[in-house]
Amino acid sequence: MNRFYLNGEWEFKQATEHRWLSGQVPGSVVADLLNLGLLEDPFYRDNEKHTIELAKHDYEYRRKFEADEALLGQDKVLLVCEGLDTLAEVTINGHLIASTDNMHRTYEFDVKSYIRLGENDIHIMFRSPVNYIHEKNAAVDLWSVNLNNMPYAHLRKAHYMFGWDWGPVIPDAGIWRNIYIQTYSESRLKDVYMTQRHSEDEVVLDVVVQPDNWTGAQFDIEVALTAPNGSTIRGTASVIDQKTTIRISINDPQIWWPNGYGKQPLYEVEIELKHDGVLLDRQQKRIGLRTIEVRREPDEWGESFEIVINGVAIFGMGGNYIPEDNVLSRCNRDRSERLIRDCVAANHNMIRVWGGGVYPDDYFFDLCDEYGLIVWQDFMFSCAVFDMNEAFTETVRKEAIDNVRRIRHHASFGLWCGNNEMEMGWVDWGFPKTPKHRFDYLKQFEILLPEVVAEHDPNHFYWPASPSSGGSFDKPNDPNRGDVHYWDVWHGTTPFTAYRDHYFRFCSEFGFQSFPEMKTIESYTIEEDRNVFSYIMEQHQKCPGGNGKILSQISENYLYPKDLDSLVYVSQLLQAEAIKYGVEHWRRHRGRCMGAIYWQLNDSWPVASWSGIDSFGRWKALHYASKRFFNPLLASAMETGTKVELHVSNESLDTVSAQLEWKLRDAGTDVLEQGAIDVESVRLSSMRVVSLDFAEQLSDTSRMRSAYLEFALKRDGVTVSEGTVQFVKPKHFLFADPNLTATVLEEQDAFVIRVRGQAFAKFVELKLSDADCSFSDNYFDLSADSLKEVVVKKSSLSTPLTQDQLQDQLLLRSLYNTAQ
């Protein structure tokens, strides 16, 4: 078994041109033109329009490669294409090998008879995806949620490339993943599947191996399991062509847990296929020892929907993940690792891979294994009607098999989900509906895909859609069953408190928009563009009326900002507060609700959107807020008029003894009333600790507008969770000037910023004028004469800085500083 990569330098050109240009594989047309300086940055101003025109043309890629006698002497010589985007015609030495139509598949082509000794030519023609979908739609009109007249449902290409309400239209083309020649002799490993059986002090690992045997000989299978401490357990078996199981017993197993519940030990599994001691094929996989299921049981509210790992029902906390760039070749392991580490830093334990993008690379799942994020994996179908003709059905089936078999062994893998919002669309949306396409939906998502999962990954749960109550068009957004997408606060512009009217079983989408920070806005604008209703700013706002919705909610909650920078800041506060209202409410009702996955985690380009982290990796206020509201040990407040309930939620495996302290204060330095309560917070629970009523203290309007409640949950004297409550909207609160100051101290691997204020400061923001970094806390509230220490790890700085340079760059403000 040998692999000869064809990655690297290729030549490419537009099909109607004569001059060949230098390109890179893996890559794409847009990436290559950008690298050559022949295309303006599509993320800058309105340059997106140029890529739309490019996509109306065909493109060719070619290169030469050498084949020696050793390669040609192998029994099997396969061309493996892990990602062709999308309508590709593959030719070797003038012979058409195959035509492809699915960017989500891994293709294998037997090319032995077409390769010659010495120099060979490979040529791939990519046809225009835009022309194709319009031609197909002229024959069969298929509806899709699309703002750009791009009927993407005709083509198995990432939907978001045709535009979404947060992304541009960049329908790229090219060889976007590895391409190589793979050779074998005698036999190869056709399939390896692993099943775990857990008991108190032992895990039994069944490794089911099936060779692809074209000789009829008997082969030896050797399995080596290497534990995190380096010790190895081995098993062997002999096989001809049927499946065989090698059983390995693991004593004192190290169990894998998601972030917040334990550690993430990983075991290496190596499977070798041999004949007479000669190695023919090898596969290596990394696994975690754990059990995982989705539990659905009748209860007093309807039916539960909860992730159960190692027998423990957890509260799912995280964000929805979209592709990290519209130019996929710019995505890489380091970029994904930064994003996933940011999730862990903000106490996420889950991540949902949304169905309108791509199936992530292997390294994405490796990282989720390492850092402890459970993956909710959609199949790549979203918001459209698909025509399940014979060819389309077959490519969908093969796409599903390819990706199920590639992903299924990962410790982080949680569940398969058929699609995003399509069952709900059939029930609630007003698109044209035919009996045939209604049946096609059931065929695709309730017959074909569950059959693939049942055959190739029976250890994982399949869910027909998100949202869904279980399928068959039965109230797919039912609040008492399954998962829910709730959008009334954004699309319906209802108050944030509306979240508290709903007790969903698992909310897998809800969101609120904000603008990215000014450095990001400056990356795609010039000075004259910097008005939220300018042409360019609206080109970077893909949700119709989105900027107006942000300003409308600002008007409900905050004073009008004095400039664009202040408006950007306030929009992020708005977003963070909106999501906080929902998450804290659902966590207070743990048991009835068992998950909150907000929309969305990240961006694919610089844009006003629902993301908590923008396309440059800069944390918005939402991501800092998620660190607080996803804190395993959370103190939260439920306020109504002058009444406040204080709750403690404990999403850990330990019962915790703590103290909940509270103070009613005015905007200056006075404490009006205070108290403290000892708390015994039971593991995996939420409880109301105290109900307070300040009607007497807040009897007049001026006191209502100047008093606030601060509370803190302390463990062994150390604050682990804290918050404040105002009894009027921020725009009506009588803030005093906090006169914020900050001093920077240096430690070996970090800087410590000490922040003080002389009056109550709401949403204190720290920012660097030029560099970027991650702060240990940000957008926090600070009472008068309090000290807040914020840590900046030196490794998080985009540019190395000295203590003095950091002090000089540090910018400090609060809500007080932003009004007209």
Q: Which of 184, 254, 249, 251 is nearest to 213 (CA)?
A: 184
pTM over 0.95? The answer is yes
Strand (E) or helix (H) holding 523: helix 518-524
CA distance to 766, 769, 773, 797, 810, per residue, from 802 (Å): 17, 14, 14, 11, 12
The predicted-structure confidence for 684-702, as pLDDT tens digits, reads as follows 999 999 999 999 999 999 9
Q: Is the dihedral of CA 584, 586, 591, 594 positive or negative?
A: negative
Residues of the chain with pLDDT > 90, as a percent, come to 97
Supply the mean pLDDT for the chain.
97
Residues whose CB is less than 8 angstroms from the CB of residue 493 and which lie 6 or more positions away in sequence, other chains included? 549, 552, 553
* Mean pLDDT, residues 29-47: 97
Residue 820 has pLDDT above 90, yes or no: no
The predicted-structure confidence for 712-755, as pLDDT tens digits, reads as follows 999 999 999 999 999 999 999 999 999 999 999 999 999 999 99
> Is 127 in contact with 135 (CB distance < 8 Å)?
no
The predicted-structure confidence for 382-427, as pLDDT tens digits, reads as follows 999 999 999 999 999 999 999 999 999 999 999 999 999 999 999 9
| Residue 430: Cβ within 10 Å count | 7
The predicted-structure confidence for 365-376, as pLDDT tens digits, reads as follows 999 999 999 999
What is the phi-psi region of residue 815: left when phi exceeds 0, alpha when psi lies from -120 to 50, beta otherwise? alpha
pLDDT at site 668: 85
Residues of the chain with pLDDT > 70, as a percent, come to 100
Torsion of CA 710, 715, 716, 717, to 10 degrees: -10
DSSP 3: E
| Spatial distance between the Cα atoms of 341 and 347, rounded to a whole number of angstroms | 10
Q: Which of 16, 6, 60, 51 is nearest to 31 (CA)?
A: 51
Beta bridge partner(s), residue 156? 102
pLDDT at site 241: 79
pLDDT at site 1: 77
Structure tokens at 195: 């099943």
Where does residue 409 rank: exposed (0-12), middle (13-18), buried (19+ CB within 10 A)?
A: buried
pLDDT at site 41: 97
Structure tokens at 540: 């970077």
* Mean pLDDT, residues 86-96: 98
| Cis ω for the linkage preceding 467 (within 30 of 0) | yes
End-to-end CA distance of the chain: give it in Å, rounded: 70
* Mean pLDDT, residues 309-331: 98
Q: Which of 408, 417, 344 is nearest to 378 (CA)?
A: 417
Residue 771 has pLDDT above 80, yes or no: yes
200 catalytic? Reply is no
* Mean pLDDT, residues 50-74: 96
Active-site residue, selected from the candidate residues 186, 370, 421, 538: 421
pLDDT at site 164: 97
Structural domains for the chain: 2-183 (2.60.120.260), 186-287 (2.60.40.10), 317-378+486-630 (3.20.20.80), 381-483 (no CATH), 632-734 (2.60.40.10), 735-820 (2.60.40.10)
Structure tokens at 576: 């963070």
| Spatial distance between the Cα atoms of 293 and 372, rounded to a whole number of angstroms | 16
DSSP 773: -
Q: How confident is the model at residue 320 (pLDDT cuts 50, 70, 90)?
A: very high
| Spatial distance between the Cα atoms of 735 and 668, rounded to a whole number of angstroms | 9
* Mean pLDDT, residues 447-462: 98
The predicted-structure confidence for 103-151, as pLDDT tens digits, reads as follows 999 999 999 999 999 999 999 999 999 999 999 999 999 999 877 889 9
pLDDT at site 533: 96
CA distance to 522, 551, 599, per residue, from 548 (Å): 20, 5, 19
Torsion of CA 479, 484, 490, 492, to 10 degrees: -40
Q: Which of 123, 115, 125 is nearest to 181 (CA)?
A: 115
> Is 55 in contact with 15 (CB distance < 8 Å)?
no
Q: How confident is the model at residue 39 (pLDDT cuts 50, 70, 90)?
A: very high
Residue 760 has pLDDT above 80, yes or no: yes
Torsion of CA 281, 286, 291, 292, to 10 degrees: -100
pLDDT at site 819: 84
The predicted-structure confidence for 492-550, as pLDDT tens digits, reads as follows 999 999 999 999 999 999 999 999 999 999 999 999 999 999 999 999 999 999 999 99
Place of tokens 């096989």: 239
